[in-house]
Amino acid sequence: MKKIAWLIDVDQSSFDRDVLERSSDVPVLVDFWAPWCAPCRTLGPILEKLVRETEGRFVLAKIDSDKNPELSREYGVRTIPSVKLFVDGEVEDEFAGALSEPAVRQFLDRAIPSPLDRLAQQAGILADQGAWGKAGEIFTQVLEQNPTHVLSLLGMIRVLLNSNRAADAHPYFARLPIKTAESTEGKLLRARIAFSGGRETENLEELQEKVAAAPGNLAARMALGHGLVKSDRHAEAMDQFLEVIRRDKNAQESAGRKALLQVFDLLGPTHPLVGEYRPKLSAILFS
């Protein structure tokens, strides 16, 4: 095998230097294989392709298990191919069998963060500490290099929401993959965007007076509901949205229904109010 910087053959004599010691500087992915193993011949080219694509992200060390039985025994290799990720001299993660290329990519993404992933993780730590400005700078830096970096898109949305810039969060949310946008976190962020900006918040007392004077004024009820959500008066807000649904001839597509579901997303599926108001919504829709 032609050796390149990130693809090496390793045996018993070079294992300590090329795997254990080197893994202190860069993750080392060890592939235990054998020439007679058909699944190894399937997995090997995938690993070699990926190490070339991501030069510098990890080292791929190939170990012929037949020629190095001591290493196989020491690291509990019972089936081949067997792949083990070493970090700082220890096995950090592993898998066995000939995974598909997408599955191997998923393993690498989880086990070996890319440089952009590491930057985004640093920004996330800053955001958790309330350093929104610095976090936003780093998320922006990542997104300039990869406009679809999901972790940074999510982080940037959080930064903007916590900086009272909900309107600026819309374009970032629109770039999220559908699966992410429809995840629990995605729905929470979408709900926060919906209730953080857009309409000007009128005085709640004035809105309540408008609704009392004209109970059929659904626009006023919606405005009141939004204002109540912003004031963390969620039960009162949901009562307003329920009333909009009752009075809307097209209840299934009602703006009130959409807003109520967004409150559910905002509170989370285990919140007591969600458990209380879901049956109330069903009773209106299916009565």
Crossing angle between the packed helical segments 132-145 and 115-128, to the nearest 10 degrees: 160
Decide the pairing of beta strands 59-64 and 28-33: parallel
User: Rg of the chain over CA atoms, in angstroms?
Assistant: 27
Contacts of residue 51, defined as CB under 8 A and 6 or more positions apart, other chains included, come to: 6, 7, 29, 57, 58, 59, 60
Task: Select from 65, 36, 63, 67 the least CA-distant residue to 47.
Answer: 63
Query: Can you say whether the dihedral through the CA atoms of 255, 258, 260, 263 is positive or negative?
Result: negative
Amino acid, res. 261: L
Tokens of 158: 């959080």
Backbone angles phi, psi at 141, to 5 degrees: -60, -45
- DSSP annotation of 239 reads H
Q: Is 40 a catalytic residue?
A: yes
Q: How far is CA 246 from CA 197, 239, 262, in A?
A: 26, 11, 18
Decide the pairing of beta strands 7-9 and 59-64: parallel
Identify whether the C-beta of residue 124 lies closer than 8 Å to the C-beta of residue 151.
yes
Neighbours of 144 (CB within 10 A): 10
Catalytic residue among 40, 159, 222, 223: 40
Catalytic residue among 19, 28, 29, 37: 37
Catalytic residues: 37, 40
